[in-house]
């Protein structure tokens, strides 16, 4: 089973978008301080919503940090965990540098693994700039991912959402050839 840990204070709209989107594409179990949901007996993805974490030591896991995630209690991250981090958050990047991890940076710079190649009011194209290994060991090659955005999300939320789909190898474009969230 694949696992996604969203660490930090998730704004309710983004947490709802994340949960709704994932539950529409895969059998999902959600565990959080305010919700426990299991929509199938054949769960293939576990979503854990947490505002604190001391250790993460599991395979097939993506750790997605929110902008305000508190890493001060985090003492261990397995090298089997892929971590999505905002490249502009110096506090997070500095703290994570002490771990041997697979960090996937999201931001607006050419050095970032996941960035925008174009952006309009309701449509963005996200660029995966280098090959990544998904949690199921599939190699995902660089690509452009068109996304139709229906809500108000900051740049990092959009980029981390797409990075999460890539790392979980759940990037499914709809019939129109884009992701919609």
User: Could you read off the pLDDT of 115-160 as tens digits, one per residue?
Assistant: 999 999 889 999 999 999 999 999 999 999 999 998 889 999 999 9
pLDDT at 38: 66
Res. 41: pLDDT tops 70: no
Under 8 Å between Cβ of 6 and 53 = no
Under 8 Å between Cβ of 3 and 48 = yes
Q: What is the average pLDDT score of the chain?
A: 91
Under the banding of pLDDT at 50, 70 and 90, the label for residue 40 is low
Q: Between 7 and 11, where is the model more confident?
A: 7
What does the pLDDT average to over 65-70? 92
């Amino acid at each position: 089973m694949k696992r996604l840990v969203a660490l930090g204070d998730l704004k309710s709209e983004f947490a709802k978008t994340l949960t709704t989107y994932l539950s529409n594409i895969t059998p999902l179990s959600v565990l959080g301080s305010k919700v426990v949901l299991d929509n199938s007996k054949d769960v293939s993805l576990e979503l854990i919503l947490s505002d604190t974490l001391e250790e993460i030591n599991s395979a097939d896991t993506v750790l997605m940090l929110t902008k305000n995630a508190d890493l001060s209690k985090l003492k261990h991250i397995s090298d089997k965990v892929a971590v999505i981090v905002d490249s502009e958050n110096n506090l997070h990047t500095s703290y994570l540098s002490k771990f041997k991890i697979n960090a996937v940076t999201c931001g607006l710079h050419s050095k970032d693994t996941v960035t925008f190649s174009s952006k309009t009011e309701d449509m963005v194209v996200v660029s995966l700039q280098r090959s990544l290994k998904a949690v199921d060991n599939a190699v995902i090659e660089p690509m452009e991912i068109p996304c139709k955005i229906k809500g108000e999300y900051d740049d990092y939320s959009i980029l981390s959402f797409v990075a999460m789909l890539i790392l979980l190898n759940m990037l499914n474009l709809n019939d129109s050839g884009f992701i919609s969230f």
